[in-house]
Amino acid sequence: MIQVLISGLFLGGVYALLAVGLSLAFGIMGVLNLAHGSLAVLAAILYQKTLVHYPFSPWTFCALATPIFLGFGLLLHLIIVAPFRNLSLTGSLAASLIASLGLALILEDLFVWWQGWEPISTHVTFPTFNLAGLKIPGLRAILLGMAAVTIGLSTLFLKKTDPGRSMRALAQDKEAASICGINPGFTSMSALGLATILAGLAGIFYSSLYPLGPREGLDLTLKSLFIVVAGGMGNLRGPAVAGLVLGFIESFAGILFSYTSTDTVVYSLLVFYLVVKRGGRQQ
Amino acid sequence: MLSSAVYTKGYVGIFVFSLIINGTMAVSYDIPGRCLGLISLGHAVFFGLGAYGFGIAISKGLSFFPSLILSVIVSFLGALLITLLLAGLNHGYYSLSTLGILIIFQRLFETTEGITGGSAGLYIPETISDLQCHLLAAFLLLATAACHALFSRSRWGLYSKETEASEEAAEAIGIPTRTVKILCLMAAAIPACMAGMLHLARTSHVSPVSGFSLTLSITALLASRVVPVRGILGPLLGILLITAAEEIIWTKFEGFNHAWFGLILLGAALYQGIDVRRRKTISAVVENPLSR
């Protein structure tokens, strides 16, 4: 039972990282980015391909790949946000949703062509620790710690830095933020860049722990979207906690049900929570 | 060329039928999409419900019309339950919930192998001729278009526009917004269910992936937005363009089908953005010619 809890904790940490990135995009720009999970898969594939030539540890590769993912985020902004600035609220939501889904489908086929159908696994051998009779895989513990530190740093960035405060201001009221001198285009580009970095890190961590299919991007995105809505948009703490909870639920459901039924249970709980919360009305 | 066999048999027959069914899905999607501004990613749930309801009835030994009636009743109840569940949500939350429900049904129908055939799906014998299928589908499309036109022009259509503009204001002036939403969503759900039934009657096979397909939902969404023409002509022209493009992609390009479809989605979305900018620029110049 405790081992299942620990396993859920590690999985939840990865979900939390993925969801926090999406919360930035959804909360600040109002963009439903369905390609978010595909970016995580892209990061995993890049790491796997790099491992063939340079056996970097996950944390070393994360440091090296951060500027690359920042670049991807800026490119993503040009595709799914910038073209729809002049549309109405529902129009821009629909357009960015369609554009990001189109991008996700393109990326999925590219991943299969590049990687093949085999799952991506970048497992690095690391010792297992014994703590009060419990087996704690060292790699998982380190990656969980890194995820927590990343989320913490992102929270500090949003709260204590000027760019972070600009992002929060934009999330609250775009017009008022513009009047106060905040450049909405640059700020939303930065937010998406940060979101993409977090997605990339989540992909690297996920593939180090579990095999990741080249077409699993959309599944990851959907879970992240639900976590974001359950935990609250525009803030980081809520989705982080919700991600951890989802990790626990999935771990326990995985023991009680088959793989496909686990998905059914998880999504049912998420939809039920969404309906009960009636966030749309409160928004 | 005028023989009905040309339009009901072979490749042309399947293409024409796909066009009619996709048209029904797009026009039915447009009812809540245009009137309430709601973006549904799970419109295919109703399609799948209709198809599976019909398929299960046929596989239990019922003939075509009793299966059709039973399937309509079951689909109606299923659609009502889903609609009641989602009617209280707005915009992003609604879109997300519809997507979640689509995935739930897909996974659920994959696991209930005894009833639904699992991930392999359900196969049924031929129940009616291809010509009868096409005629019923064409009638369904006309009925859906008529429903769309009548709803938009009725007081419920006006109520839905007020609800879209501001739900709080609409409630304040006495509009039963929840009833409006339920009526609107049910008016969209029932034709989609029947489209699923007819699709299964024509193709004799449905699986969780094909029945509860995100691609089908997105196609309906895209069709209602890609051609900027008001009324039912917009979704119909949109679906004509998209279905034709899809056919070319699936037949000419192997192995990158999803990528090409993704490219169409991307292109259509970007076109929307560019078109709005162009119109804004033109209207700005018209209002103030001296600004040039």
Domain ranges of chain B: 4-252
Residue at A283 is within a domain: no
Residue of A nearest to B223 (CA): A98
At residue B201, the 3 state secondary structure works out as helix
Q: Which residues 85-104 of B are in CB contact (within 8 Å) with A? A: 85-86, 88-97, 99-101, 103-104
Q: Which of residues B216 and A171 earns the better pLDDT score?
A: B216
Structure confidence at residue B1 (pLDDT) = 44
Residue-by-residue DSSP string for A59-101: HHHHHHHHHHHHHHHHHHHHHHTGGGTTS-HHHHHHHHHHHHH
Domain B4-252 fold: ABC transporter involved in vitamin B12 uptake, BtuC (1.10.3470)
**For residue A50, what are the CA distances in angstroms to A60, A100, A180, A216, B181?**
12, 27, 44, 21, 52
Asked if residue A50 lies in contact with residue A61, where contact means CB atoms within 8 angstroms, the answer is yes
Token match 């970016």: residue? Answer: A39
Residue of A nearest to B37 (CA): A90
- Tell me, yes or no, if A225 comes closer than 8 A to chain B by beta carbon: yes
Nearest CA among B191, B74, B51 for reference residue B127: B51
Residue B61 exposed, middle or buried by CB count within 10 Å (0-12, 13-18, 19+): exposed
- Tell me, yes or no, if A110 comes closer than 8 A to chain B by beta carbon: yes
State the smallest CA–CA distance between residue B266 and chain A in angstroms. Answer: 4
Instruction: Look up residue B126 and give its DSSP letter.
Output: -
Residues of chain B contacting residue A102, judged by C-beta atoms under 8 Å apart: 261-267, 269
The number of distinct structural domains making up chain A is: 1
- Tell me, yes or no, if B10 comes closer than 8 A to chain A by beta carbon: no
| pTM given for the model | 0.81
State the smallest CA–CA distance between residue A121 and chain B in angstroms. Answer: 24
Q: Which residues 31-60 of A are in CB contact (within 8 Å) with B? A: 32
* pLDDT tens, residue order, chain B (292 aa): 445 555 566 788 888 898 999 999 999 998 888 888 888 888 999 999 999 999 999 998 888 889 988 888 888 888 888 888 887 776 677 887 888 888 888 888 888 888 888 888 889 888 888 888 999 999 999 999 999 999 888 888 888 888 888 888 888 888 888 888 888 888 899 999 999 999 999 999 999 988 998 888 888 888 887 777 777 888 888 888 888 887 787 777 766 777 888 888 888 788 777 665 555 555 555 555 554 4
Domain harbouring A11, CATH code: 1.10.3470
Model confidence band, residue A116 (pLDDT cutoffs 50, 70, 90): confident
Residue of B nearest to A35 (CA): B262
**For residue B101, what are the CA distances in angstroms to A130, B22, B199?**
42, 21, 21
> A196 lies in which domain range?
2-278
User: Which residues have CB under 8 Å from A237's CB, separation 6+?
Assistant: A155, A231
Element (H, E) at B205: strand B205-206
